[in-house]
Copies of this chain bind each other. A is one copy, B any other.
Amino acid sequence: MAGMVTLYELKGKEGRLYSLFSWRARMALAHKGLGFDSHPVRMSDKAAIAFSGGKTVPVLRDGETVVRDSWKIAEHLEAAYPEAPSLFGGATGHGLCQTFNIWADRTLVPAMLPVVVADIHERIDPVDRDFFRAMMEGFLKSKLEETLAGRDKATERLGRTLDPLRAALKRQPFVCGAAPAYADYIVFSVFQWARVMSPHQVLAADDPLAGWRERILDLHSGFARNVPVA
């Protein structure tokens, strides 16, 4: 299968792969045991992924099939590779995971963003800087520099958003129970985004989430651990 699958994702400075949503696709591919070619593109280079019909990564090319959007990529992999380890564990897990995915995108991602956005700006491809700044400042309705002043408050807010996950990980080793599955990768993508682009410590060493993150970093022969980080 290796070589037939290509993942288009974001290209940061010095080989950093920093697209949060592409990390969901990366982890899903690793979970399925699928090799793939990474094709990093600049955030502002819409021409590179125009073939997908969209303007955002991740885009997956799997043989003749092109899929964009991390959730659709996960669904494609689950349907196309049913013999490989499951990402959802059946129809009920699939449906609940979609609900969880939406929760994470609307709650967890916006809670992490102000904590790491200024550091991300320092580590993206310099060509993308103006594009990135305009997009993020529009979204946050504040200057990137102001997020640094508000970082302690934002980190506290993030902590409150994470509380239910922290409590869950005191009861079971993974978000999905005894073994990791796609919902774990959804949460992990947010932490990996931070890890690849920001030196700011978002988790205390004794946080149950820190232990869980280490377990995810160990998976698939250290697949997510052994990459350029901040």
Please list the residues of chain A having a beta carbon within 8 angstroms of any beta carbon in chain B.
Answer: 86, 88-100, 102-103, 105-107, 163-165, 167-168, 171-172, 174-179, 181, 183
Contacts and interface: CB of A to CB of B under 8 A. Distances in A.
Contacts of A177: 91-92, 94-96, 98
A183 B99 contact: yes
Contacts of A107: 164
Nearest to A88: B92
Determine chain A's interface SS by DSSP, over half rule.
Answer: helix
Contacts of A179: 91-92, 95
Closest CB pairs A-B (n = 10): A95-B177, A89-B92, A93-B93, A103-B164, A99-B168, A95-B176, A92-B93, A92-B181, A106-B164, A89-B90
B92 A176 contact: yes
Contacts of A102: 164, 167-168, 171
Contacts of A94: 177
B171 A98 contact: yes
Contacts of A168: 98-99, 102-103
A124 to B, nearest CB: 28
19 contacts: A88-B92, A89-B89, A89-B93, A90-B92, A91-B178, A91-B179, A92-B93, A92-B179, A93-B96, A95-B172, A95-B175, A96-B175, A96-B183, A99-B168, A99-B176, A102-B171, A103-B164, A103-B168, A106-B164
